[in-house]
Chain A
Amino acid sequence: MRLFIAICVCRVLYFIGRLIGKGTAKPGDIARIFCPKVLNRLKFDGKIICITGTNGKTTTSNMVTHILRKNGFSVINNSFGSNMLGGITTSLLTNCTFGGRVKADYSVLEIDERWLRFLVKEIKPDYLLITNLLRDQIVRNCCPEIVLDKIKMGITPGTTLLLNANDPVSQQVSWGNENPVVWFALGENERSTKECRSGTNDAKVCPKCMHTLSYDYYHYNHVGSFRCENCGFESPKADFVGTDMDFSKPSLAVNGKRVKLGFDATYFMFNTVAASAICVTAAGMELEKVLSFAESFDIGVTKRYEELTVLGRKCQLILTKQNPASVDQSVDFVSEKEGPRTLIMISNNMFHTEHKDVLFMYDVAYENLRDVEHIIIVGKRRYDMAVRLKFADIDMEKVQICDNDGDIRSCLEKTEGNIYVMTSSVFSNEDKFLEELRKL
């Protein structure tokens, strides 16, 4: 009876929430009051796939869902809402029968790294994919090892793990258990570097013996091909490998089979290999078929890189999270563009908590912006950002600090070329400044 009430309450609240445009976690949270551990009472006809990690979990989940649906499977996912327990509960209770039966062939659940350990107390994933574990905002996730420990608390016996063979941190999830592991990786390519180009490398030392870890190449941060000369710890041989990347006409080969992509970012290629690995492993699909469906997946590039015209010049908004890996990717995006370029950096307090710490700025390789012709800094922490740029040996003659949002026009008039704006508007309240910009 409790289950039935929880399902009804969840559906009514979800329906009302949709009408008034509210979030999707609350209906699940409230349903859980009526029926604690409600997910434990559900009966799954199909398989449960959980996807977590620092970056790329949403894209990978959406791509897996897209591929499985294209192949004719029925799939439930939580792409419309929260990736914590409330959001997942909403997704499942609005897609099961009133008797609590989940008929879908696959439940593809994106789960926040810190919440997996709670989810598995109620449902056991058949497959768990971890995209990567990178340094995140410290107010949320401290360091990757703290997150690693929390994920390890969520490993259930028998769950097949799909792990990134290029990531020495997340591969530690396989330590201390007997779970089967499927490894995925990306091979060396023209964007790989011999030295770490990112601002952070969380695996400079071997996690087993603390001696220096050697890298044959880096993709980004501590993700690459590594080995420890002291104890032999190294990148495992991958079951699914992306090779022969072409970034000009985005494509790569997964285990030798070619796939065209709608986006040229290295991390997107990683997501594609990971999604392929899970579709083949969990659904038994043929790789060729998986890749042909992956080609029609739309990552939503136009949303991530919205284009405007500002003062008659092309202006591109680059959505950036407040974590070093995300900012590093945005820095690289701008530094690889042809000049002259004008970069607007919005530097604010930490989202959600308003902490004034700017530690993550010091974990980003702003040094890679040295060739960018013009930089304008706005936001509450604009002077802190100016200090950071100074210590990155950026020529401060080309840096303008914009003390009032209204002064952005006069700042821009002193610059030339395409405008790039590193913004976090979907994650924070930067809309006021962007409104000013859109008026120009």
Chain B
Amino acid sequence: MRKIKILNLYGEALDLNGDGKNITAFEKRLSEMGYEFETKTLGVGDEIELSDFDIVFMTHGKPHNVSAISEHFIKYKDNILDYIESGKTFVATGSSNMLFGKSFSMLDGKTYSGIGLFDCEAEEFDGLYVSDAVIVPEFAPEEKMFGIYYRCESVKFNTPNEHRLFKVLKADEGKGSVGEGEGCRYKNLFATWCLGPVLVRNPLMMKEVLHCVLGEDYRETDFSLEEKAVKMTIEELL
């Protein structure tokens, strides 16, 4: 059985609000399915070659840290785009999403470039948008997921988002709000401003990501506890 290679990209700089536990949960599921795995963390002091990996995680980080790593990230733009175009799996949560748009600007007036995969721009504002949300994933339109959005950036798409990942069924309004749709799914890149343990709390998304990585080698494991927990939360919200 093949060994699954996992990359936690900028895992030390982007490590906020439990997002890193998505990787722990992913590893645990692989173990339950009988797979071996190897996880590497790479940062600004490292050379990056994504083709070595089966899945890449990039998690939510402090605005300062996202802007500080952007120069290094852009340096590997071609490698990153090749990886995504090849259909390999990439999961980006929270503020790491800013790096996939055209640019993002911070409160101090500085603007940073993204890799331009999506036609959007982000802008930091002096405030916070916090909302629980019930979201419907495009890969399972009959089902519901729970998400938490927490950001001090507003995101503007210059052209309609053709790759929407979630339809937002319920979320609060306000500056920085997510609107009717959120996130991007392009091939096997899952990019969402949802943060925290998205995969841990949403078995639907965990299964989808596992399917992308394992294909026909996916094996069933027990998600009953997680399903009960997320169902309770969604019922409270609706």
Contacts and interface: CB of A to CB of B under 8 A. Distances in A.
Interface of A: 135, 138-139, 142-143, 145-146, 201, 204-205, 207, 209-212, 230, 353, 355-363, 380-381, 383-384, 386-388, 390-391
Nearest to A208: B68
Contacts of B225: 383, 386-387, 390
Contact of A357 (B44, B196, B236): B196
B18 A356 contact: no
Given A204-B13, A210-B43, A359-B17, A384 B130 contact: no
A391 B24 contact: yes
B13 A142 contact: no
Nearest to B19: A362
Contacts of A355: 130, 132, 148
A301 B13 CA distance: 37
Interface stretch (B82-90, B157-165, B173-181, B227-235): B227-235
A113 B65 CA distance: 21
Nearest to B28: A391
Nearest to A142: B128
A152 B92 CA distance: 31
Nearest to A212: B12
B226 interface: yes
Given A205-B65, A391-B21, A356 B132 contact: yes
A148 B12 CA distance: 19
A361 B17 CA distance: 9
Contacts of B201: 358, 384, 387
Q: Which of A142, A211, A361 has the most CB of B within 10 A?
A: A142
A143 B18 CA distance: 12
Given A212-B12, A356-B233, A363-B18, A145 B45 contact: no
Contacts of B21: 362, 391
A357 B228 contact: no
Contacts of A209: 44
B15 A230 contact: no
Contacts of A386: 225, 229
A205 B20 CA distance: 15
A357 B233 CA distance: 9
A383 B130 contact: no
Interface string B65-85: 100110010000000000000
B195 interface: yes
A376 B25 CA distance: 23
Nearest to A363: B18
B17 A362 contact: yes
A391 B201 CA distance: 11
A27 to B, nearest CB: 29
Given A142-B152, A143-B62, A356-B233, A210 B17 contact: no
Contacts of A143: 16, 62
Contacts of B132: 355-357
A382 to B, nearest CB: 9
A138 B150 contact: yes
A134 to B, nearest CB: 13
Contacts of B229: 383-384, 386-387
A321 B135 CA distance: 30
Contacts of B236: 356, 380
A146 B226 CA distance: 32
Q: For B15, B18, B64, B130, which residue has the most chain A Cβ atoms within 10 angstroms?
A: B18
A139 B21 CA distance: 20
Interface in B174-215: 195-197, 200-201
Nearest to B172: A355
Interface-central residue, B17, B20, B232, by most chain A CB under 10 Å: B17
B163 to A, nearest CB: 26
Given A139-B130, A356-B233, A212 B64 contact: no
B150 to A, nearest CB: 6
Closest 10 CB pairs of A and B: A362-B18, A383-B229, A357-B148, A204-B12, A359-B196, A359-B17, A362-B21, A210-B44, A205-B13, A143-B62
Contacts of A356: 132, 146, 148, 233, 236-237
Contacts of A212: 12, 43, 45
Nearest to A230: B45
